[in-house]
C-alpha cells in the first residue's frame, strides 16, 4: 500500500506516514445513524427545567421569588426565550438591552426584540459583526432592528463581544427595576454555560 501511494502521488518514503490505529475518528460519529439497532442507542436526552419554572409560566414572578440558574446544555434554553418574549409583550417593560453574538437567520430572540421596538419599547442591541459564520445574519438583524426603531451598536472597535447578556427595565410596584440574564463568554464557547437570571 505504501509503495502504491508513493507511485500514485509521487511521494518519497519520508512523505508517507504509517499510523498504528484508526485515522479521523470523527467519521465514526456517523456510524450509529447508519445502523438500525435502537436497542444499542441511548434514549434521546431531555433537557430539564429548574424547579422554580416547572409550575410557573410568568418569568417575572418566578425571578421576583428567587434568582434562577440555568446550566446549558443540560437545562432547557426555553426560559431565556420565554423571558425575552414576555418582556417584549409586557406593557410594564420600558426597555430591553441585549448583546447579540451569533443570531442565525431565524432567531426567536431577535424577532422578539424587533417586536418590542415596534411596540415603542426602548431597545438597544450590541451586535457583534465578527461572529464567525453568522456575520451576514447579524448584519441583516441589525438593519431590521434599526428599521423597527431600536438603537444598534456595532460592537466595540478592537474587541469582540462574546458574552450573552439581556437587561430588562420594568415598572413594578410604582418604581422601575431591572432584571438581567448573564452568561460568561468563556463557558459559552465550550457549548456549556451557567446562565443566571436575577432581579
pTM: 0.74
The residue among 54, 49, 153, 56 whose CA lies nearest residue 98 is 153
Q: Kindly state the cell numbers that stand for 181.
A: 440574564
Domain 51-198: assigned CATH number: 3.30.870.10
Tens digits of residue pLDDT in 143-171 = 999 999 999 998 777 777 777 889 999 99
Catalytic position from the list 71, 72, 151, 162: 162
Q: Kindly state the cell numbers that stand for 7.
A: 507511485
Active site residue 71: no
CA distances from 107 to 41, 112, 153 (A): 31, 9, 18
Q: Is 99 left (phi over 0), alpha (psi -120 to 50) or beta?
A: beta
Percent of the chain past pLDDT 70, that is, above it, reads 91
Task: Reply yes or no on whether the pLDDT at 66 is more than 90.
Answer: no
Residues carrying CATH 3.30.870.10, the chain: 51-198
Amino acid at each position: 500500500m505504501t509503495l502504491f501511494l508513493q507511485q500514485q502521488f509521487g511521494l518519497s518514503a519520508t512523505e508517507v506516514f504509517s499510523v498504528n490505529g484508526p485515522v479521523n475518528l470523527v467519521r465514526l460519529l456517523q456510524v450509529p445513524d447508519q445502523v438500525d439497532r435502537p436497542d444499542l442507542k441511548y434514549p434521546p436526552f431531555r433537557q430539564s427545567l429548574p424547579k422554580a419554572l416547572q409550575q410557573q409560566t410568568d418569568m417575572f414572578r418566578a425571578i421576583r421569588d428567587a434568582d434562577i440558574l440555568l446550566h446549558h446544555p443540560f437545562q432547557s434554553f426555553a426560559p431565556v426565550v420565554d423571558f425575552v418574549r414576555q418582556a417584549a409583550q409586557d406593557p410594564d417593560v420600558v426597555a430591553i438591552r441585549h448583546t447579540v453574538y451569533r443570531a442565525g437567520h431565524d432567531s426567536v430572540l431577535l424577532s422578539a426584540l424587533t417586536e418590542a421596538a415596534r411596540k415603542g419599547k426602548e431597545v438597544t442591541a450590541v451586535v457583534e459583526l465578527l461572529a464567525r459564520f453568522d456575520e451576514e445574519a447579524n448584519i441583516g438583524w441589525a438593519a431590521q432592528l434599526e428599521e423597527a426603531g431600536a438603537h444598534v451598536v456595532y460592537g466595540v472597535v478592537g474587541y469582540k463581544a462574546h458574552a450573552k447578556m439581556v437587561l430588562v427595565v420594568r415598572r413594578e410596584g410604582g418604581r422601575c427595576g431591572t432584571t438581567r440574564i448573564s452568561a460568561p463568554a468563556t463557558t459559552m464557547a465550550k457549548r456549556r454555560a451557567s446562565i443566571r437570571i436575577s432581579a
